[in-house]
Structure 1
Amino acid sequence: MLDQEAVDDLFDVLARYIRIRDRAVHTTFKTADGEFETAAFKGLFHLARQSMRSRELAESLNADPSTVSRHVAQLVELGLVRREADPVDGRAILLVITDAGRERVEAMRMVRRTAMDHAMSDWTDDELWTLVRLLGRFVDAAESIIAPPCAKAPTSPMTGAPVDFVKGQK
């Protein structure tokens, strides 16, 4: 069994990180065309890897399709994404990042990289890669328990009752 104090400390650290992340995600910024939510730009990173349907983008972002639709509309309005007929199924619409969208992704990556260079200036590359590896392993494990695809809900080993990791035990 894992050290229970370490597990509690892990959740404390994750809660601190989530507060920081939420502050960043729930901000808006101004462009020449108005104010836009930071969250609207998350989809650009996924679309920079590959074009996809709106439903697929919502799944990859683990977000509500109506929210993603609103964000996509903002991105289209800004000229960062365009809608095209799916060449495989002409009835479907693909979201395709534009050259301006790719430039925005690269600019955002540079901002993130610069911020992390400052925040982690005393870290070695080996320490960074260790964090990436271990955090990826943690997220994979947590995802398999908290939101497993097509699996029954996890149960408490003590009571056998379903566990809701977001709100505590039911």
Structure 2
Amino acid sequence: MPPSQDMTTALDPGLLDALQHQVAVFARRAEQTRLGGTGQLRNSMDRAAYLLLNRLDQEGPMGVKALAAGMGIDSSTVTRQVAPLVDTGLVKRTSHPEDGRAVVLQLSQRGLARLEEVRASRRRLMVEVTEGWTPEEREAFCTLLTRFNTALSARQSAHTGHAPAESGGAGGTAPGTAPEGESSPAS
């Protein structure tokens, strides 16, 4: 539900302008660097692949429709994005354990190993860019960014009619927060 005009004008327009500007800068920087990590693995896995592999790792094998619903995107988009992951052996298609006619997507051992490499590289990047931050500052930033992503996801869902996307990342959440999101400014 959009904020009322009274609520928007009651808030500090200068602060709102600064916030939207910083979100735009973050989105540009995230896309430029792809938040890909450090070293040889920098920029080595695109955002869509990372989010799909991460979801399969967290949730286990699932069908295209369930994967799409959980990420708040169309099945056709998941099908298109998962094809190269299957081709490169990071994801495998297997029979559904309860219905042999249905196909589920599953993270392969190669996919899990690759995902762990990328996660480690991205962790090093997070350490590097938050050097000098206290643990409390890192946790607060993660909590607020998660909250922001969740609100963006809910807003997008309200406009598209899709269920809100989970925000899911291994190690990407602060204690007591929802998982990180597919619907971040950089997504």
Q: Specify the SS of the correspondent of 1:52.
A: coil
Moved more, 7-16 or 60-69: 60-69
- Supply the distance in 1 between the matched residues of 2:92 and 2:84 (Cα, whole angstroms): 11
Percent identity over paired residues: 33
Equivalent residue, structure 2, for 1:11? 20
Q: Does 1:120 align with 2:123?
A: no
Residue 2 of structure 1, aligned match among 4, 11, 18: 11
Return the offset for 1:76: 1.3
Q: Specify the SS of the correspondent of 1:147.
A: helix
In structure 1, what residue type is equivalent to 2:136? D
Where structure 1 has 5 or more consecutive residues not aligned to the other structure, the ranges are 28-35, 152-170
Q: Specify the SS of the correspondent of 1:69.
A: helix
- Supply the distance in 2 between the matched residues of 1:66 and 1:77 (Cα, whole angstroms): 17
Q: Specify the SS of the correspondent of 1:88.
A: coil
Q: 1:136 to 1:126 in 2, by over 3 A?
A: same
Q: Does 1:104 align with 2:114?
A: yes
Structure exhibiting the larger radius of gyration computed from Cα positions: 1
In structure 1, what residue type is equivalent to 2:108? T
Moved more, 136-145 or 84-93: 136-145
Return the offset for 1:41: 3.6
Contact (CA 8 Å) 1:40, 1:68: kept in 2 or not?
Answer: no
Moved more, 124-133 or 79-88: 79-88
Equivalent residue, structure 2, for 1:51? 61
Q: 1:125 to 1:67 in 2, by over 3 A?
A: same
Compute the TM-score of the two structures, normalised by the length of structure 2: 0.66
Q: Does 1:140 align with 2:150?
A: yes
Equivalent residue, structure 2, for 1:63? 73
- Supply the distance in 1 between the matched residues of 2:61 and 2:114 (Cα, whole angstroms): 16
- Supply the distance in 2 between the matched residues of 1:150 and 1:63 (Cα, whole angstroms): 11
Equivalent residue, structure 2, for 1:76? 86
Where structure 2 has 5 or more consecutive residues not aligned to the other structure, the ranges are 1-9, 37-43, 163-187
Number of equivalent positions? 142
Q: Does 1:131 align with 2:141?
A: yes
Q: Which has the higher strand share?
A: 1
Return the offset for 1:58: 2.5
RMSD: 2.4
Return the offset for 1:99: 1.1
Q: Specify the SS of the correspondent of 1:84.
A: strand
Q: 1:60 to 1:22 in 2, by over 3 A?
A: farther
Return the offset for 1:142: 3.2
Q: Which has the higher contact order (CA 8 A, sep 6+)?
A: 2
